[in-house]
Structure 1
Amino acid sequence: MKKNVLIIGAGGVAHVVAHKCAMNNDVLGDICIASRTQQKCDAIIESVLRKNHLKDSTKKLYSRTVNALDIPSLIDLIKDTQSEIVINVGQSYINMSVLEACIETGAVYMDTAIHEEPDKVCENPPWYANYEWKRKERCEQQGITAILGIGFDPGVVNAWCALAQKEYFDTIDTIDILDVNAGSHGKYFATNFDPEINFREFKKVWTWIDRQWVLQKVHSIRMDYDFPVVGTCPVYLTGHDELHSLSKNIDANSIRFWMGFGDHYLNVFSVLNNIGLLSEKPVKVAEGIEIAPIKVLKAVLPDPSSLAPGYTGKTCIGNFIRGTKDKAKREIFIYNTCDHAECYQEVESQAISYTAGVPAAAAAILVARGTWDVKHMVNVEELDPRPFIDLLDTMGLPTEVVESPVPFTPPVITSLESV
């Protein structure tokens, strides 16, 4: 049994993780929230207390300051807080330093996104092999549980793939992961999570088709799909974290990711991209200061956590899966819908942060109970999906399954370049 949780980061996802961990602190023990800005951590704590979500008042909920790129400081923090579970929901630039600190201290490691280097965007697949997977052997040798990509996508969608392979199909032909936000935040333009990380996703589209990596242009292939609850929405073929592990761990011919974008978003994105404001490469301004344009853009756009109070509408994220069962063709759509206003009422968050944060807290509970404390490094699809999905059903993210859903039939997609 593991206890005491250290949450690294103080953004929108950390906010949700803290609420859900506090609601289960009888299992998880003390909770520390740490980031560079302790004031942000304290604001999360105030929200948890305001909603009366600290289940066991004898357990501590407190904050610390830390530079998550400073491995010795992280090691000291983990030891000082006696944290046995570390949930990394900071920027993905810090993954490797937090992972290293966990290996050095014996703590469980979790994150919600693939590692990134500031000067490397959309690296060639399988991206995990460049960073996290290089630590697999050390985790195995030292009995370290490291769970990679335990948000929603990646995370829950990976578990759905494992569930499909285990319970619904004998063979899988295609998996199409569809992610649409049919909500409205009322701002002229904003991103639902860290703008810097968000925009970096849209440089290249690496996707897995006919058991090989295929490169396509960003926002070049569109499909309209009639989703449950939210109705017909446009989605575009996009590269995404989970493809880099699913291509290795799930026996399917093609695995693709599609994200919803409205015309207004795409128009603003195109202008920002064309004038260079999405660049991660530093430029020198007249005063001699060097700064990456994307960091300036991040500074002027609304903080994603500030969108929550006025957000309306719903999200729908699901896997459209084709294959065979008992020699007959089968198609299912396994999905979740989440309401922005309901998320705010429960934990003072919007649904994008909620869908990413709840799974991390659920995984921490499963580790604390011993169910997922596997003593080595895994991506989510390598774990038993049923306990996770059943727990999410009780924590605000229920899974629905539709047999013979509305068809989703993408066009034939060929590669612009080989790996």
Structure 2
Amino acid sequence: MKKNLLIIGAGGVAQVAAYKAAMHNDVLGDIHIASRTLSKCEGIVAGILEKKALKRPGILAAHQLDAMDVEATKALIRRTKSQIVINAGSAFLNMSVLRACMDVGAAYIDTAIHEDPSRICETPPWYGNYEWTHRDECERKGVTAILGAGFDPGVVNAYAALAAQRLFDRIDSIDIIDVNAGSHGRYFATNFDPEINFREFTGTVWSWQDSQWTSNSMFEVSRTDDLPVVGTHKTYLTGHDEIHSLSANLGVPDVRFWMGFGEHYINVFTVLKNLGLLSEQPVTTAEGLEVVPLKVVKAVLPDPVSLAPDYVGKTFIGDLIRGVRDGVETEVLIYNISDHEEAFAETDSQAISYTAGVPATAAAMLIATGQWECHRMANVEELPPLPFLDLLGRMGLPTRVRDARGDWAFEELDLPEPELVAVRTGKVS
């Protein structure tokens, strides 16, 4: 059984992961939080202690770390005797933290795909460009590396695996729908790191259609759905992490990601983009200062963590899956509803951070208990979905399933036995 957890990052997702880890330190052991800004880590520790969130007395410590420094990261892992590392920092850190974990033998978890700061919306497959190039090394060294263990990617991948293994004989399409029906009361803000947020939407939108990569422009393709709890929402076809692994691992001909945007967000985004303020390329001011426009925009926007106290409303994230079961065309919606105010009351964070941070800690717990200790690199859909979804329900992210019969809590489902054809890798739960 693995013990002791190091969380890298001090933003909203890392904060939620830390709170939840503290609530389960009987399983995870010592909890360490590290980032470049020590005061942010110390603030998370103080918040956890103020809420008396530690399940039992134990070590909860803050550390300063530049996680781009592989040797420094390795040294901290060894010093804290951490056997599991959650990389909840910037997606720019993935390859550095993964390298440190592979070198010292610690299990690795992240919540988003790696990004190269100099490139935006690279040609697919993104995992194939970076993380997957280390699959052989992970397996050779027996290192567990779980990729994309947030909500999307992460939980939505588990939803897809559940559908492939238990609910369908053949899946024809997976449409992942993400809607934030909440409000933070600010004129304009992003719900997580503005630099990462904007980079997702400034280039080509890649989706998997008719078993091939298809390109579109942002806000070019939309759909409208009547969704449980949050109602009718318009969403836009968007490139996203999980498309790249699901298209490779599940053999489904159509995998698409749809995200909800309000007209105000689209208008502000369009102005910023057209003015060149979302560019990652440096420009020189009249005073001779070299600045990156995107970093300037990030600096003047609200810190996403600061949005949490005023956030109201709910989020919807789910998989709309179509295919065939027992010779009948079938449609199933597997989803979660989260509440911003409830997330803040528990973890001092809004629901978008909550939905990404809770799964990362759940993944760490499954590694600690051996259920996801796979000794190789894996995306979430390659791992048993049932223990993950069951644990998430107990940790505050319940799953519901809507089909032709009605709308069901995950615990109410009468699931058939798993089929033996779940994923191309041949691994089934």
Q: One fold, TM greater than 0.5? A: yes
Question: Which letter does structure 1 place at the counterpart of 2:367?
Answer: V
Note the residue ranges of structure 1 that are not aligned, 5 or more in a row.
407-419
Query: What's the CA shift for 1:404?
Result: 3.1
Query: What's the CA shift for 1:329?
Result: 1.0
Aligned to 1:306: 306
Aligned to 2:151: 152
Q: 1:284 and 1:250 mapped to 2: Cα distance?
A: 47
Query: What's the CA shift for 1:27?
Result: 0.5
SS state at 1:175 partner: strand
Aligned to 1:199: 198
Q: 1:209 and 1:361 mapped to 2: Cα distance?
A: 33
Aligned to 1:412: none
SS state at 2:200 partner: helix
Is contact 1:34-1:41 (8 Å) kept? yes
Aligned to 2:30: 30
SS state at 2:354 partner: helix
Aligned to 2:218: 218
Q: 2:329 and 2:225 mapped to 1: Cα distance?
A: 21
Residues 139-163 of structure 1 show CA distances to partners (whole Å, capped at 9, x for unaligned) of 0000000000000000000000000
Question: Which letter does structure 2 place at the counterpart of 1:5?
Answer: L
Q: 2:40 and 2:86 mapped to 1: Cα distance?
A: 17
Aligned to 2:117: 118
Q: TM-score, normalised by structure 2?
A: 0.93
Aligned to 2:234: 234
Residues 111-164 of structure 1 show CA distances to partners (whole Å, capped at 9, x for unaligned) of 000001111111111111111001111000000000000000000000000000
Question: Which letter does structure 2 place at the counterpart of 1:19?
Answer: Y
SS state at 2:321 partner: strand
Query: What's the CA shift for 1:110?
Result: 0.6
Residues 276-335 of structure 1 show CA distances to partners (whole Å, capped at 9, x for unaligned) of 111111111223222210100000000000000010000000100000111111100000
Query: What's the CA shift for 1:90?
Result: 0.6
Q: 1:45 and 1:235 mapped to 2: Cα distance?
A: 37
Whether 2:354 is the aligned partner of 1:333: answer: no
4+ runs deviating over 3 angstroms: none
Query: What's the CA shift for 1:9?
Result: 0.3
Aligned to 1:133: 132
Aligned to 1:93: 92
Aligned sequence identity (%): 60
Is contact 1:235-1:258 (8 Å) kept? yes
Residues 358-388 of structure 1 show CA distances to partners (whole Å, capped at 9, x for unaligned) of 0000000000000000000000000010000
Aligned to 1:46: 46
Query: What's the CA shift for 1:346?
Result: 1.1
Query: What's the CA shift for 1:95?
Result: 0.4
Residues 198-246 of structure 1 show CA distances to partners (whole Å, capped at 9, x for unaligned) of 0000121000001000000111111111110000111000000000111
Is contact 1:4-1:83 (8 Å) kept? yes
Aligned to 1:416: none
Question: Which letter does structure 2 place at the counterpart of 1:234?
Answer: K
The two structures, once aligned, show a CA RMSD in angstroms of 0.9
SS state at 1:242 partner: helix
Question: Which letter does structure 2 place at the counterpart of 1:120?
Answer: R
Question: Which letter does structure 2 place at the counterpart of 1:127?
Answer: W
Q: 1:274 and 1:101 mapped to 2: Cα distance?
A: 40
Whether 2:248 is the aligned partner of 1:248: answer: yes
Aligned to 1:387: 387
Is contact 1:110-1:148 (8 Å) kept? yes
**Count of residues in correspondence between the two structures:** 405
Aligned to 1:317: 317
Q: 2:251 and 2:167 mapped to 1: Cα distance?
A: 13
Residues 176-219 of structure 1 show CA distances to partners (whole Å, capped at 9, x for unaligned) of 00000000000000000000000000121000001000000111
Aligned to 1:410: none
Question: Which letter does structure 2 place at the counterpart of 1:34?
Answer: A
Question: Which letter does structure 1 place at the counterpart of 2:369?
Answer: R
SS state at 2:207 partner: strand
Is contact 1:332-1:405 (8 Å) kept? no
Aligned to 2:103: 104
Is contact 1:331-1:405 (8 Å) kept? no
Q: 1:114 and 1:140 mapped to 2: Cα distance?
A: 20
Is contact 1:95-1:115 (8 Å) kept? yes
Question: Which letter does structure 2 place at the counterpart of 1:189?
Answer: F
Q: 2:304 and 2:250 mapped to 1: Cα distance?
A: 33
Q: 1:89 and 1:405 mapped to 2: Cα distance?
A: 39
SS state at 1:2 partner: coil
